[in-house]
Amino acid sequence: MVSMHKIKHFPLLVYTIAVKNIKMKYKNSALGFVWSLLQPLAYLLIFIMVFKNAFANVERYSLYALVGLVFWTFFNSTINQMLLAIIQNASVLKTMALPKLLFPFSAIVAEVITFLFSLIPFFGLMIFFGLRLSPEFILLVPAILVFVLFTFGLGLTLCTLNVFFRDIGLLWGTLSPALFYFTPIAYSSALIPEKYAFVLQFNPLVHYITLMRCILYDNVWPSAQLWFITIAIAVGFVAIGMGVYYKLKNNFVSFY
């Protein structure tokens, strides 16, 4: 059983492990944190070279694509880290009475810290590509929070199931590239034929990317309907993730 002492110090443990995760991620790397910027920049360069003329109707295309890429990169990196959070720390959980939730939670905290630091240079690049500073910027904080909650819920669900079914990790590795192209990051959703457009609504990422573009690209206040949808999805996924975790966590040890 986890002692009250461990629960009391849960935030400190999360912070300590999160910082350790960040250090381990860039250990012995010459470029270190810069690696977190290179992937979205590489994709952006490809999109500009290949798609900018094809999507000439998309005003400030570079900014449009970059906003989508920044948040996709955070989402994908976080899910990848959370997937293995419990499995990689199995030996620790076998020898120490720590809350199992500590490790997936620390994984997302580490990714959030990295993401927030990466926003500094990305904002500079966004301004270069035509970002307009506006009052709507204040909404970026709750928008990111809602997106983080959704990512945590999905990540915790996959992380828990991956302990019992290692195919989950392999399946995610197969599906994530498809999900990337199924999300309007490099292209406008207006290009989707009307008879297929409704399918996009079943992709949760579409709603979050739309939310971020309302604030950073269109400079408009997201509609109440969009807020409701994104918050409902986030709450739903957190509920599913926590439900799956608490249902299965007592059986973790036998599957490590």
Query: What are 153-188's pLDDT values in tens digits?
Result: 999 999 999 988 888 988 999 999 999 999 999 888
Average pLDDT of the segment spanning 132-137: 90
Torsion-angle region of residue 192: left (phi > 0), alpha (psi -120 to 50) or beta? Answer: beta
Cα dihedral value 41, 47, 53, 56, nearest 10: -80
pLDDT of 241:
96
Closest alpha carbon to 150 in 204, 97, 203, 218: 204
CA distance 18 to 113: 9
71, 189 in Cβ contact below 8 A?
Answer: no
Question: Tokens 């290009």 label which residue?
Answer: 191
Closest alpha carbon to 227 in 142, 132, 116: 142
Residue 67 has pLDDT above 80, yes or no: yes
- Is the pTM value of this prediction over 0.75? yes
CA angle 206, 59, 128 (to 5 degrees): 95
Contacts of 99 (CB under 8 A, 6+ apart): 2, 6, 7, 10
pLDDT of 145:
98
Instruction: Give the residue, 182 or 39, on which the prediction is more confident.
Output: 182
Closest alpha carbon to 256 in 90, 104, 145: 90
163, 248 in Cβ contact below 8 A?
Answer: yes
Instruction: Give the residue, 244 or 200, on which the prediction is more confident.
Output: 244
Length of the chain counted residue by residue: 256
Residue 244 has pLDDT above 70, yes or no: yes
pLDDT of 4:
45
Average model confidence (pLDDT) across the chain: 87
CA angle 125, 211, 140 (to 5 degrees): 60
| Token representation of residue 221 | 């206040």
pLDDT of 239:
98
For residue 95, how many C-alpha atoms fall within 13 Å in the half-sphere facing its CB? 4
pLDDT of 206:
96
Residue 42 has pLDDT above 70, yes or no: yes
Give kind and range of the element (H or E) at residue 58: none
63, 212 in Cβ contact below 8 A?
Answer: no
Average pLDDT of the segment spanning 189-193: 80
